[in-house]
Structure 1
Amino acid sequence: MTIIGLPARTRPRYGVAVVGGAAALEDAPEESVEALAVRFRAGHEAALGEVYDRWSSLVHSYALRALQDTQDAEDVTQHVFVAAWQGREKMTPGPHTFPAWLIGIARHKISDARAARARDVRRIEAVAAVTPSAEVVGTEDVMEPDRLVVRQAVDEMGEPRRTIMLLAFWQDLTHVDIAATTGLPLGTVKSHVRRGLTQLHHTLEEVRHGSR
């Protein structure tokens, strides 16, 4: 698996205004944009860095407007440039190549993010339906079978996922609150909740199908 390293900046320059799906074009002359597109398509890694530096703010602003979530917008921004690099041979170099092309990729990644959100909601609803409330934690003898399965599955998770899941579903803390409590980055918390939900969902499906 090829690892794509995107340039790191001390302060991301996100926030270029996006109006009606279009954004302010770059300050560079059209000729330099076309030349950059040629180098990018040819696989010059330095060109990837320059493209990311110029247009990541455009992509992030577009994604943020669509998703209304900073972390999700940052994730989409990263995915867009990785996808652009991996699919660069499909790009046709031109003076206005990058803005429209990157926004087109962003639309697909935003759709993926929304679909992932919908899956998360379904998983949360499924797990919440069998998650014991704070009043019955510690009184497993009165828990329903599915609740026992969920609690055991969470207890068997490695750290910090176990703690994050307990805080999310037994203490009803938000992702932001969990990040503040554990000292973990918000993106890490979201990732553990998402993967933990997937794990619980699969565990419940296996138990239910096995009991038929």
Structure 2
Amino acid sequence: MPPLSPTAADPPQFRNAIHSARQPLSVCHGSRLHTVPSPEPASIHSIEKAFARGEEQALRAAYKQHGNLIYTYCRRTLNEDRANDVTQEVFISAWKGRHRFDPAKGTLVGWLFSITRNRIIDNVRAERRHSERRANLDLAELPTESEIDAIGNRLMIADAMRSLPDRTKRVIMLHYFDDLTHRQIAERMSLPLGTVKSLLRRGLLQIRHLLESAHE
């Protein structure tokens, strides 16, 4: 993940330099989900509110929290140089337009993802427009918009899963990856059937909320 570099045209906050703070991304392997510890929800909410208020430390915290995810999305769809550039552009654009972010209407990571998606699509369209000037460019290597969306959704789901409580995460994994019924999960985890259904419902709502905020 590239460091976010200030320029002379950027607000003074950038002159304090946001350095790279790479953190592992959650990845599903079969029925196992490999994750890193997540910050407490209250911490995430505090970052979002501070970002909306324009507090300088919030930009640094947002980049540390979400920079690796944004870079991964860019790198899965763009070459390395453009992925580095677009990652920086996303955070600079988000910070300059922070007055448009409302924590009450969506998550910060979802909003950043929406900006990233649009930037990626703009770059891919530009590549297609200029393809006739580059004989070595294979258009088949460029992702379609539906492929860009699919890649983004997979990354967002993995990130949303990482943020869920362990018990909720396990219920979802057992249901969707191991194909267990609600009753089988209840027996496996020694939980009441109603608790399993409630955990599954709340977890899926949280994931859906994150996905919807990324497509607004």
**TM-score, length-scaled by structure 1:** 0.48
Q: Which has the higher contact order (CA 8 A, sep 6+)?
A: 2
Larger radius of gyration: 1
